[in-house]
Amino acid sequence: MQLDSASGWCDGARHCPSPNFNARPEGEISLLVIHNISLPPAQFATGKVQEFFQNRLDVTEHPYFAGIADLRVSAHFLIERDGAVTQFVSCVDRAWHAGVSCFEGRETCNDFSVGIELEGTDDIPFTDAQYFSLVELTRQLQAAFPAITVQRICGHSDIAPGRKTDPGPAFDWARYRAALTGGEGR
């Protein structure tokens, strides 16, 4: 996997462009936000996340979909249970993943963050393949955007407390951070 900092696209990731993005305001890319998603909830490898981020989700296929039918959201990346990485939005553009959010007193985190969705739920452990891909992708992002330090990696719940809970208690922050800083946990 190789991230081109000029284009913001990652070679080695599947590209599945989403229309749900816009230009970032001038400024740095300095935050990484980890999320989780599964559609329908707790069902994996359905292809519905990709359809959702492309505004192609058939809302008649599952009762849950009716409640999200009008949402226009995206993330930069999705890491599936098998570790496969899909990119929806160039990192130089603003994906619509964080919503109403605040990090260290700065609001509207979409302006300066990259969003990675892990296929999963708050309470189902993530896979070894997901951690491996997440660490590799994070390293690529840190090389391209050095302001994304380990201290500037957070969960959606950290920037939208009370509104969001992901990536949830099943996400092993200690394993992830150890792999980033010392190579453990891979």
CA dist., res. 129 & res. 24, Å (int): 31
List 80, 104, 107, 117, catalytic entry:
117
In the structure encoding, which two tokens stand for residue 25, read together? 């305001």
Nearest alpha-carbon partner for 21 in 105, 89, 116: 89
- How far lies 157's CA from each of 2, 19, 82, 160, 162, in Å? 28, 25, 24, 5, 7
* Coil vs helix vs strand at 89: coil
For helices 128-144 and 173-182, give the axis angle rounded to 10 degrees. Answer: 50
CA dist., res. 28 & res. 17, Å (int): 23
User: Residue 117 catalytic?
Assistant: yes
83 contacts 116 by C-beta, under 8 angstroms: no
List CB contacts of 23: < 8 A, sequence separation 6 or more: 93, 94
Q: Which residues are catalytic?
A: 117
